[in-house]
């Protein structure tokens, strides 16, 4: 299995927390020493384990933001 290197550059928001203490978070993360991207996924309390998530570029976050603003969420 290939090791994945990551660095949480900025913790932006905790979106929710499960009964087991895992948190769904929006963070800015650098994966494998690349430029940081926005990332939404679940993390264990110590951030040693993570669930599956989605990574978005600046452009994709802009489109998502615009789409949510038009829905009055």
Closest to 40 in 3D by CA, of 32, 29, 48: 29
Give CA–CA dist 28/12, Å, rounded: 7
Report helix, strand or coil for 22. coil
pLDDT of residue 24: 98
pLDDT of residue 71: 87
Domains of the chain: 6-70 (2.30.31.70)
Predicted TM-score (pTM) of this structure: 0.88
pLDDT tens for the chain, 73 residues long, are 778 899 999 999 999 999 999 999 999 999 999 999 999 999 999 999 999 999 999 999 999 999 999 987 6
Q: Rounded to the nearest 5°, which phi and psi values hold at 21? A: 95, -5
């Amino acid at each position: 299995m290939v090791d994945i290197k990551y660095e949480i550059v900025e913790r932006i928001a905790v979106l929710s927390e499960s009964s087991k203490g895992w948190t769904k978070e929006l963070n800015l993360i650098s994966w494998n020493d690349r430029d940081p991207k926005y990332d939404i996924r679940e993390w264990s309390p110590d951030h040693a384990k993570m669930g599956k998530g989605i990574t978005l570029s600046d452009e994709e976050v802009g489109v998502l933001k615009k789409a949510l603003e038009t829905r009055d969420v």
